[in-house]
Amino acid sequence: MTQFFDDDGLRSLWRQGGTALAALPLAEIKARAATFDRAIGRRNRREYAATLFVTLIFGLYALILPEPLLKAGSLLVIAGGFVMAWQLSRRTSRPDPDAEATDIRAYYRARLATEERMLASVGIWYLGPLIPGLVVFMAGLAAAGGFGSALGFAAFAAIPALIFIGIWLLNRRAAAMLRAQIERLDAVSPPTEGKEK
């Protein structure tokens, strides 16, 4: 998920002020929505490819590593990867040509809001499913490598924990950027009754 906001076009789109949006013709908003769609598609394809890679690597580990904890952890990581990919597919915003044709501003705002909610909750649906498998796998590595004490395991687990915290923080930052973009859109054209805030 960390690659979501590395797209320069998307980053500049988030940073633009409300006055720029106020002067935008509908064709420009439609172009921005299309850029957003492409960025989401690229992000999803990267995540699905990463899930395939993780499945292959940990599947190989499950086959060749002798320790039961390593085998169990590998299988749990694979299951967590599938849950994460399913959640990404379920939670991501999708283009809707019919909605786009009726009100492009509302359509674009709804897409931003869906992505904002998804990124804000990345700790639960993206990182959460991977944690049990990684903990079991790392416990197996720690036992096999002589890090059997609680302190040794904590030191061993510090790097992956910091990586997960970094991913969580980066996605929270991206969600805040999307919230700011939604607020700018609302300042230019407030959502009507019944539309999601």
**Tens of pLDDT, residue by residue, the chain (197 residues):** 544 444 555 455 545 544 444 545 677 777 888 888 889 999 999 999 999 999 999 999 999 999 999 999 999 999 999 999 999 999 987 777 666 566 778 888 888 999 999 999 999 999 999 999 999 998 888 878 776 677 777 777 888 999 999 999 999 999 999 999 888 888 876 555 444 44
pTM recorded for the entire structure: 0.75
In this structure, is residue 90 part of a structural domain?
A: yes
In this structure, is residue 30 part of a structural domain?
A: yes
In this structure, is residue 197 part of a structural domain?
A: no
- Domain that residue 132 falls in: 2-188
Burial of 171 (0-12, 13-18, 19+ CB in 10 A): buried
Number of helices (H) and strands (E) in the chain: give both, helices first: 9, 0
Name the residue with tokens 């085998």.
71
In this structure, is residue 195 part of a structural domain?
A: no
Answer whether 116's CB lies under 8 Å from 156's CB: no
Number of domains in the chain: 1
Task: Tell me what pLDDT residue 4 has.
Answer: 45
Answer whether 39's CB lies under 8 Å from 174's CB: no
In this structure, is residue 193 part of a structural domain?
A: no
d(CA 169, CA 165): 6
Token pair of 29 as six digits: 């908003």
Token pair of 2 as six digits: 């960390």
